[in-house]
Amino acid sequence: MPSSDFRIPNQMLVTNSLNALQQSFAKLADLQDQASSLKRLRKPSDAPADVVSAMQLHAGIDRNDQYTRNLSDAQGWLGNADSALTGAVTQLQKVNDLVVQASNASTDANARAGIAAQIDQIRNSLIGIANTQYAGRPIFAGTASGNVAYDATGQFVGVSSAVERNIAPGQRIQVNVNGDTAFGPPGSDVFTTLAQISNAILTNPSQLTALQTTLATRTTQVQGQLAQVGSQFLRVQNMQSQNTSNGLTMKQNLSSIEDADIAQVMVQLQAQQVAYQAALSATARAIQPSLTDFLK
């Protein structure tokens, strides 16, 4: 009866060779995957602690991207407000020059009528400025749902309240300017003052001195809001710079965790290919014995 002393070791030799071949192939496949994807982490089991860190960084990057969008939106609101208020100040200063001209005793009725017409045109222009929009929303209308802050007569139809954006953890900023804050409360606003000035030029020039003082007050109020908008805009720019820096740092940290070192991977891949070929050769020799070898 043939001895079984050869059969059992041979069976174990074949099994061990196949297991080694399978392990070598798995390592080769993993390195090939890293080389093609350029990623070291592709599933949680690759490195559980690093995967947790990567997930936290991904969440942080997502939040940072949202802050980027909010900051860009804030810049849009404040940039439009800055342009509008700058234009308003320029128009009001022009009105002041016209009032000085109309107050001159040598100015006749026809000339005053022309000046009044210019002021009326400036008033209409200012109503247009006060209805400046950003992304389809009037920037001086607060949280009103309509598409204008002032109607054609110069009446405020907005809702005086803050429009805010979250620009950093725990930091919010108002991005709008309420019309009644910038141009004065209804009944005592810039548009009422301009209408009174135009009427006084035509009917009672003696009122112009008092109205010029009121105009100066309204102009100062607009200038004050312009200065505040400029300050807010600068804050947003600084936050945007910091946000960009934070985002870059998080992406670099994520890359150091997730990305494969391609130079190192290629060296390991070459070595593993050699090892796999050796495992193939060893396995082929291990399973060469035939049935005749078992019967000897």
Q: What is the mean pLDDT of residues 58-84?
A: 95
Domain for residue 45, yes or no?
no
- In this prediction, residue 52 carries a pLDDT of 79
| Co-location of 264 and 246 in the same domain | no
- pLDDT tens-place string over residues 266-292: 666 666 666 667 666 666 665 665 545
User: How far apart are the C-alpha atoms of 213 and 160, rounded to whole Å?
Assistant: 26
Residue 176 resides in a domain? yes
Statement to judge: residues 245 and 264 lie in one domain: no
How far lies 183's CA from each of 112, 117, 198, 227, in Å? 26, 21, 18, 14
Does one domain contain both 239 and 273? no
- Token pair of 18, please? 């196949």
Examine the domain organization and report whether 178 and 224 are in the same domain.
Answer: yes
Look at 51 and 14; give whichever has higher pLDDT. Answer: 51
| pLDDT, tens digit (0-9, with 9 covering 90-100), for 93-142 | 999 999 999 999 898 999 999 999 999 999 999 999 999 999 999 999 99
Residue 47 domain-assigned?
no
Q: Average pLDDT, stretch 136-161?
A: 95
Residues 31 and 76 in one domain: no
Q: What is the CATH number of the domain that holds 70?
A: 1.20.1330.10
Residues 85 and 206 placed together within one structural domain of the fold: yes
In a domain, 203, yes or no: yes
Q: Is there a domain that residue 276 lies in?
A: yes
* High-pLDDT (> 90) share of the chain, %: 64
- If asked whether residues 275 and 204 sit together in one domain, one would say no
| Domain span including residue 276 | 7-38+260-295
| Residue 221 predicted with pLDDT over 50 | yes
Q: Could you tell me if 147 and 270 lie in one domain?
A: no
User: How many domains, the chain?
Assistant: 2
Residues 119 and 173 in one domain: yes
Do 70 and 212 fall into the same domain? yes
Distance CA(148)–CA(124), nearest Å, equals 14
- For residue 159, being part of any structural domain is answered with yes
- 85 domain residue, yes or no: yes
pLDDT exceeds cutoff 50 at 212: yes
Q: How far is CA 119 from CA 2, 130, 173, in A?
A: 121, 16, 36
